[in-house]
Each structure stands twice: as structure tokens, then as C-alpha cells.
Amino acid sequence: MLDFEKGLPPEQLSPLTLAFVGDAVYEVFIRTKLSKDVNMQSSKLHKQAIRYVSAVAQSAIVHAIEDKFTDEETAVYKRGRNAHTHTSAKNADIVDYRHATGFEALIGYLYLKKDSVRLNEILEMGYNAVKE
């Protein structure tokens, strides 16, 4: 993995920076998970991935698992959710987009904090919430 020892601690990064990283981490997790579960054409894998990575899906994930967040995780999620962005999702309303941004901020935070155990727990809970 990449080493961020010399950078700012995740607590000092903006929530949108955390979401920027979290978006990539979550995308790689979903693509890897789907690739391991099935063997199909990449175009079909992409369609499956959209079920998990869209703003609407991420918003639904948050609602399904947010009661399992620690106080610290809730604070990071809320920072991301309440951050003012200058962009919006193509296929989601602003409320879903903000919840998704909060979820991505939490994923980015856990990744940069190098809390791989908790990151994996949250990612698996989210994956299972969509799968069900």
C-alpha cells in the first residue's frame, strides 16, 4: 500500500479530500469483490458495480449501517455529509449525494488512518446491505 506517514493526519484533511480518497478505495473494493464472486464480461461487471457505487446505493448503505458507526466514525461521516460541494451527482438528488459523500469521507478516513480491520468491516457491511 501507499505510505502517507509524512502527510497530514486524516483528522486534519478536509472532508472532501477524504471523500476523494474514499471514492477510489470503495470503487476498488467493489470491483475486486465482484470480480472474485463472478466471472463475466467487464461490461456486465460494470453494471453490477453501479448497484454498489452510485450515490443512491451509497446513501442506502449509510442508512442500513450507520447505527453501527462509532462516535468518531459518525463525526467523520457527518463532516463529509455536510461539506459544501460545487458538484452534484448525475443520477441522484442532493440528499443522496450528500449521504454518499459522507460515506466516502468515512472510507477515506479509515483508509488513511490505516485502520484496515474497521475499514474492511464497514466495506463488508455495505456490500452485504446492497446484496440483500
* Catalytic annotation, pick one of 23, 71, 93, 115: 23
96 catalytically annotated: no
Residue 30: all three cell numbers together: 467493489
Three-state SS across the chain?
Answer: CCCCCCCCCHHHCCHHHHHHHHHHHHHHHHHHHHHHHCCCCHHHHHHHHHHHHCHHHHHHHHHHHHHHCCHHHHHHHHHHHHCCCCCCCCCCCHHHHHHHHHHHHHHHHHHHCCCHHHHHHHHHHHHHHHHC
Among candidate residues 110, 108, 102, the one with its CA nearest the CA of residue 80: 102
User: Catalytic residues, which ones?
Assistant: 23
